[in-house]
Amino acid sequence: MKRENKAKLQGRLSRIEGQVRGIARMVDEDRYCIDILTQLQAARAALAKVETEMLRDHLGHCIEGAIVSGDAAEQRQKANELITLLERSTR
């Protein structure tokens, strides 16, 4: 992971953590279901943004590094890792 992305992602994850704690509090307080569902959607969207940034970083750093290295075994390994990840997300 690139250092410049790390701080940004940690900040986003901290906000998401606070958001999830807020959702738990809403459930504990028996808040209106639609309000809770709205917050759940927002948290899921925020996590999706973090996931997208992580994927972008992986492609731009790890996979690009394997390509530049010229090591065919490493290239296959990185490609297989990505395929496995994508397969899990479709289940």
Asked if residues 47 and 17 have their Cβ atoms less than 8 Å apart, the reply is: no
pLDDT tens digit sequence for 14-70: 999 999 999 999 999 999 999 999 999 999 999 999 999 999 999 998 999 999 999
Asked if residues 33 and 78 have their Cβ atoms less than 8 Å apart, the reply is: no
Q: Tell which phi-psi region holds residue 70, choosing left (phi > 0), alpha (psi between -120 and 50) or beta.
A: left
pLDDT of residue 4 exceeding 80: no
Reading the block at residue 4, the tokens are 């410049």
Domains and CATH numbers, the chain: 3-89 (1.20.58.1000)
> Which pTM value belongs to this model?
0.82
